[in-house]
Amino acid sequence: MGSTQFWIRTGNSLLKAERFLRRLFPRKASNASIADRNYSFNNERNIRALTVNDQLDGRSTGVSSLKLGDTVMKNSGCEVIATYNALLLYGKQVSVAGAAKRFEENGCLVRFPFVRYGALGVNPYDIGQIVASYGVNCSTASVEQMCEPGIYILSYWNDARLLSGIHTIAVHTRNGMCYMYNYTMKGNTGFGVFPSAFVKTFRDSYVTGYKLR
C-alpha cells in the first residue's frame, strides 16, 4: 500500500470511529438547541429551488454566510450543500436551511476536542440517514458506479495529507457526462467532465458515496 492510500484509509477509519463515539454519547438537547437557533437565522435567506455552487463567496445565493453549528457554511457546509443539491436534482422540495437543521438536530456534525463545533463539517458517513429522512432511498456507490446515469453524493479527501480536509459534492450523471455541483465552490452552474476523467480524479481519494434511488 502506498503512503497516499495509507493516509486516506487512516482518515476514513478515524471518521468511522468519530461517528461511533458520537452516536454512543448523543447530545440531543444541545443538538436541538443549535439546530433551532441556526434555522431561525438561515431560513430568512430562504435558499431553495436552485442549485448552490458558490460556497466560498456566496455571490449567487448568499450561502457562505449561513450558519452551521458554531461556524458558517463558507468554512464547512459542503455536505449540507451537496445533500441539498442532490435532493433538489432528484425533485424534492428542500431548502438549505432545512437540510442544515436535519443534520444538526440528528447530531451529524463532527465533534473533536478543542475544535469549534461545526468547523469540521458533517461526517460523510451520516449523509445517508439524512437523505433517507426525506423519503428517498439511497445506497452506497463507488466512483465507478457514479459513471452510470443517476444522482449521487460524493465525499473525497482534498489530497493525501490526513489533515487536508474533505469535500463533498452532488453529481448528476447524464448524457455521457458527470456534472458536479459546488465542485469549485465558485460560480453558479455545475461543472461537467467525461466519466473517465471523473474516475481518474476521485478514485484514489474516495471516502464514501451514495446513489439516490
Tell me: the pLDDT tens digits for 113-129?
889 999 999 999 999 99
State the sign of the Cα–Cα–Cα–Cα dihedral 20, 115, 100, 193. Answer: negative
CB 167 within 8 A of CB 150: no
Instruction: Report the CATH fold assignment for 3-212.
Output: Cathepsin B; Chain A (3.90.70)
Q: How far apart are CA 65 and CA 194, in angstroms?
A: 33
Q: How far apart are CA 149 and CA 175, in angstroms?
A: 8
The tens digit of pLDDT for each residue in 129-148 reads 999 999 999 999 999 999 99
The tens digit of pLDDT for each residue in 190-212 reads 889 999 999 999 999 999 999 99
Cell of 117: 463545533
Sheet holding 166-174, edge to edge: 138-140, 206-212, 150-157, 166-174, 177-181, 191-193
User: Domain ranges in the chain?
Assistant: 3-212
Whole-prediction pTM value? 0.94
